[in-house]
Amino acid sequence: MTSSGTGTALRVCPLCEATCGLSLTIDGGRVTRVRGDREDVFSAGFICPKGASFGELDADPDRLRRPLVRRAGRLVEAGWDEAFAAIAEGLGPVIRRHGGGAVGVMLGNPNVHTIAGGLYPGQLVRALGTRNVFTASTLDQMPKHVSCGYLFGDPDAIAVPDLDRTDHLLLIGANPLVSNGSLATAADFPGKLKALRRRGGRLVVIDPNSTRTARAADRHVAPRPGTDAALLFAMVHVLFAENLSDPGDLGRYLTGTEDVRALAADFTPESVAAYCDVPPDDIRSLARELAAAERAVVYGRLGSTAVEFGTLASWLVDVLNALTGNLDRPGGALFPLSATARAPRPPKPGRGFTTGRWHSRVSGHPEIKSELPAAALAEEIDTPGEGRLRGLIVVAGNPVLSAPDGDRTDRALAGLDFMVSVDPYLNETSRHAHVVLPPPPPAQSAHFDFAFSALAVRNTVRYSPPALPLEAGRLDEPEILARLILAVLGRSGPQERPGSVDEEAIAHRLGKETADPHSPVHGKDPGALAAVLTGRTGYERRLDLMLRLGPYGEGFGAEPGGLSLTELLRHPHGIDLGPLRPRIAEVLRTPSGTVELAPAPIVADVPRLREAVAGGAGGPALVLIGRRHLRSNNSWMHNLPALTGGSNRCTAQMHPDDAKRLGVADGDPVRIKGDGGEIVLPAEITEALRRGVVCVPHGWGHDREGTRQTRAAREPGANVNQLLDGSRLDPLSGTAVLNGFPIQVEAVR
């Protein structure tokens, strides 16, 4: 670490789920070089081009340095006090007149990569008392939460592939050689896949695109997009039909197996072959190989979640793991245990997982994990009537580009009475805000992975203090969010300390812990415990509390030698907490205390799949899927010189046969039409794709007025989500169907 502005500093990378440890060279108060930290306990030196751009990200001249406040229609720079006063003045009347529920909260992806995003959004939502909460989860992994919620009773109990020990990895709709992995936090995915094959293991990929990962596999199966649930059901069918189902030790925790057998009875490989466009024998061998492997694991990602049958497919992934005895077994799928998780308590049946405690106003979508579908954000704002959203707080999100029908979202945001964006950039979304609050660049921020430590393929714990001191005139993001909470509560006076937000959270947790007979601090005085916490800031004290009370914690003296912030600071490269281990008994929170393999809400969705399968090959002629690029990050890293240009382009990839039929040559502009609108972009002809599939990346369309991302605007690309109107959702999870939706394509003459 450095206070003079010169030297090296260690910092975990916040730019994707791989959470690599970086070593930053700092010269004159700037990051001048970035390397992988070889001594990092988790990543051991791995780094990718995005991580290497960390310095550019810090130094981007378009990054906002001061808050922006709308004055006479224009966003102008302002001081922090002024900005929070403007928020109190702007949101206050909305809340007084229409209630806190008239203010929505939209939380974007980077919240899972920041300390601020891990600690404050819950308090912000409670301060507003709003049920209008939207996040990127319903554009992403919500189907997995829902299926795990029903199977295990806890939507956050997600088993991850034990990459270091498996012999057979079946990847469905995932491209970790580009994404660097997701819902499976593993630094150096490329190295781990190589190691798998070196030890004689097999990699099998199911993906309609012959991706970098698919090309590295032993076997690649390319089904029609959106049909995986049927394919997986047929694999389940084969396991039962050929007596290959053997849950092993897990058996005593399983209920509903016979129901699954009955459900799978008519999903024969022959019956789904036309629909999936996969030969029946291929489906049989996929199932047999999985069952035959000593230690195998099925893992599904975005191509299995943001699809028409996302929850069914996510469920079937774990059904396959359970039936083959690979769930909760080394080399299979295991539940991580992070250092800030609640320490395991004696097993007790839970209340189970439910959804629909409330519904969205316009389309009646059920609440899921206290969230409404991101695809419904625009209609909740622009549909007149009682309960309409009039205010919005967006933290680290760009729904104009990342959610369906960007034009509608764009117009809806323009019609809000008051909008706040916490964002480092003036982009397609934040340009509508009345106040923009910019967090500092990553090198000036501390880092702790609350989310990804709970999804990592090995248990470790790391904390990065800020590598550089805060520039003058900056607030760190925890303080920004704490002050935003105070502004919402109407507590903006000069006597109000943002630290009170942290102290309230600490008091709340200690109140609960001291009342819990299983807690190491049961019966102790919460005030005295709070006084023991260390940390320079409120968020550090909260982290200290979570570490002390976590599964590896020192328990305020109950477990000498255990974790605390002080102990963690002694290990700048992190602390290894060991490989994942079986722990299903402490995970289960279902009413039965078992893995409920055939949950009623999921069973009720199976007829919808049967109907689709009955349609056979008669689906739409052309469907669209997405892709990611190593040098891109959703909608927001297109402004960095190191990551732009070259092959990182927004094109419509299609098979040569489709191009020929359409009369399109490589590089020709094509018009793509969908339910929500149309876009024009260049065609890129490639044999990698299946026939009938067009592939366009998301996060592009940087051509709107009033943004400040100079480089991105020069090569704007087109917004693929304009093709969607927000009505195509996986019904059980409210997740937008971003892959496998029908389109029409024509050459632009």
> Which letter does DSSP use for residue 102 in this model?
G
Could you say which of ligand SF4, ligand MGD, Mo ion, none residue 19 binds, taking C-beta under 5 to 8 angstroms by partner kind? ligand SF4
Q: How far apart are CA 341 and CA 474, in angstroms?
A: 31
Q: How far apart are CA 154 and CA 151, in angstroms?
A: 8
Amino acid found at 367: E
Question: What tokens were used for 461?
Answer: 């714990």
Beta bridge partners of 334: 160
Residues 515, 509 contacting (CB under 8 angstroms): no
Task: Decide if residue 13 touches ligand SF4 (CB under 6 A).
Answer: yes
533-539: Cβ within 8 A, 24+ apart: 533/506, 534/564, 534/565, 534/566, 535/565, 537/446, 537/476, 537/478, 537/502, 538/478, 538/482, 538/498, 538/499, 538/501, 538/502, 538/503, 539/115, 539/116, 539/119, 539/446, 539/478, 539/502
Please, which residue, 49 or 92, has the CB nearer to ligand SF4? 49
Q: How far apart are CA 526 and CA 542, in angstroms?
A: 14
Nearest residue (beta carbon) to ligand MGD: 303
Least distance between Mo ion and beta carbon 411 (Å) = 25
Which run of H or E residues covers position 292? helix 280-292
Pick one of 15, 139, 157, 322: the residue that binds ligand SF4 (CB under 6 A).
Answer: 15
Please, which residue, 53 or 430, has the CB nearer to ligand SF4? 53
Q: How far apart are CA 107 and CA 117, in angstroms?
A: 8
In terms of residues, how long is the chain?
749
Least distance between ligand MGD and beta carbon 161 (Å) = 12
Could you say which of ligand SF4, Mo ion, ligand MGD, none residue 540 binds, taking C-beta under 5 to 8 angstroms by partner kind? none
Please, which residue, 144 or 541, has the CB nearer to ligand MGD? 144
Task: Decide if residue 312 touches ligand SF4 (CB under 6 A).
Answer: no
Least distance between ligand SF4 and beta carbon 631 (Å) = 10
Footprint of ligand MGD (CB under 6 A): 16, 108-110, 114, 136, 139-140, 172-176, 178-180, 182, 206-209, 211, 225-226, 228, 301-304, 307, 395-399, 402, 422-425, 427, 439, 477, 625-630, 632-636, 698-699, 720-721, 738-740
Please, which residue, 633 or 651, has the CB nearer to Mo ion? 633
Please, which residue, 40 or 428, has the CB nearer to Mo ion? 428
Q: Which of 593, 519, 157 is nearest to 350 (CA)?
A: 593
Could you say which of ligand MGD, ligand SF4, Mo ion, none residue 595 binds, taking C-beta under 5 to 8 angstroms by partner kind? none
Q: Compute how many residues bind ligand SF4; rule: CB under 6 A.
A: 12
Could you say which of Mo ion, ligand SF4, ligand MGD, none residue 15 binds, taking C-beta under 5 to 8 angstroms by partner kind? ligand SF4
Q: Which residues of 290-299 are buried (b: 16+ CB within 10 A; e: fewer)?
A: bbebebbbbb
Q: End-to-end distance of the chain based on CA atoms, in angstroms?
A: 58
Task: Decide if residue 16 touches ligand SF4 (CB under 6 A).
Answer: yes
Question: What tokens were used for 599?
Answer: 């949950």
Q: How far apart are CA 101 and CA 94, in angstroms?
A: 10
Least distance between ligand SF4 and beta carbon 144 (Å) = 20
Task: Decide if residue 729 touches ligand SF4 (CB under 6 A).
Answer: no
Alpha helices (H) in 60-152, listed in sequence order: 80-98, 115-119, 121-128, 142-152
Least distance between ligand MGD and beta carbon 172 (Å) = 5
Task: Decide if residue 316 touches ligand SF4 (CB under 6 A).
Answer: no
Least distance between ligand SF4 and beta carbon 602 (Å) = 33
Task: Decide if residue 380 touches Mo ion (CB under 5 A).
Answer: no
Least distance between ligand MGD and beta carbon 384 (Å) = 26
In order of 225, 360, 408, the CA distances from 405 in angstroms are 21, 18, 6
Least distance between ligand SF4 and beta carbon 14 (Å) = 7
Task: Decide if residue 162 touches Mo ion (CB under 5 A).
Answer: no
Could you say which of Mo ion, ligand MGD, ligand SF4, none residue 178 binds, taking C-beta under 5 to 8 angstroms by partner kind? ligand MGD
> Which letter does DSSP use for residue 397 in this model?
-
Task: Decide if residue 338 touches ligand SF4 (CB under 6 A).
Answer: no
Which of 137-145, 393-401, 614-622, 676-684 is the region at the interface with Mo ion (rule: CB under 5 A)? 137-145
Please, which residue, 189 or 556, has the CB nearer to ligand MGD? 189
Q: Interaction with ligand SF4 in 173-202: which residues (CB under 6 A)? A: 180, 187
Q: Interaction with ligand SF4 in 51-70: which residues (CB under 6 A)? A: 51
Task: Decide if residue 140 touches Mo ion (CB under 5 A).
Answer: yes
Q: Interaction with ligand SF4 in 541-560: which residues (CB under 6 A)? A: none
Task: Decide if residue 379 touches Mo ion (CB under 5 A).
Answer: no
Please, which residue, 140 or 428, has the CB nearer to Mo ion? 140
Least distance between ligand MGD and beta carbon 623 (Å) = 9
Please, which residue, 250 or 433, has the CB nearer to ligand MGD? 433
Please, which residue, 50 or 361, has the CB nearer to ligand SF4? 50
Please, which residue, 24 or 229, has the CB nearer to ligand SF4? 24
Could you say which of ligand MGD, ligand SF4, Mo ion, none residue 395 binds, taking C-beta under 5 to 8 angstroms by partner kind? ligand MGD
Residues 437, 422 contacting (CB under 8 angstroms): yes
HSE-up of residue 181 (Cα within 13 Å, Cβ side): 25
Least distance between ligand MGD and beta carbon 398 (Å) = 4
Please, which residue, 216 or 507, has the CB nearer to ligand MGD? 216
Residues 627, 653 contacting (CB under 8 angstroms): yes
Task: Decide if residue 314 touches ligand SF4 (CB under 6 A).
Answer: no
Q: Which of 195, 303, 319 is nearest to 257 (CA)?
A: 319
Residues 115, 383 contacting (CB under 8 angstroms): no
Could you say which of ligand SF4, ligand MGD, Mo ion, none residue 321 binds, taking C-beta under 5 to 8 angstroms by partner kind? none
Residues 597, 319 contacting (CB under 8 angstroms): yes
Question: What tokens were used for 220?
Answer: 């690649």
Beta bridge partners of 464: 447
Which of 11-19, 56-64, 201-209, 321-329 is the region at the interface with ligand SF4 (rule: CB under 6 A)? 11-19
Q: What are phi and psi of 11, to 5 degrees?
A: -155, 125
Please, which residue, 149 or 442, has the CB nearer to ligand SF4? 442
Q: How far apart are CA 705 and CA 75, in angstroms?
A: 13
Q: Which residue has the tokens 């590896």?
A: 552
Which run of H or E residues covers position 463? strand 463-464
Q: Interaction with ligand SF4 in 240-299: which residues (CB under 6 A)? A: none
Could you say which of Mo ion, ligand SF4, ligand MGD, none residue 47 binds, taking C-beta under 5 to 8 angstroms by partner kind? ligand SF4
Least distance between ligand SF4 and beta carbon 279 (Å) = 36
Residues 9, 1 contacting (CB under 8 angstroms): yes
CB neighbour list of residue 330: distance below 8 Å, 6 or more residues apart: 162, 165, 295, 579, 580, 581, 582
User: Would you tell me which residues interact with ligand SF4 (CB under 6 A)?
Assistant: 13, 15-16, 18-20, 47-48, 50-51, 180, 187
Query: Which residues contact Mo ion (rule: CB under 5 A)?
Result: 140
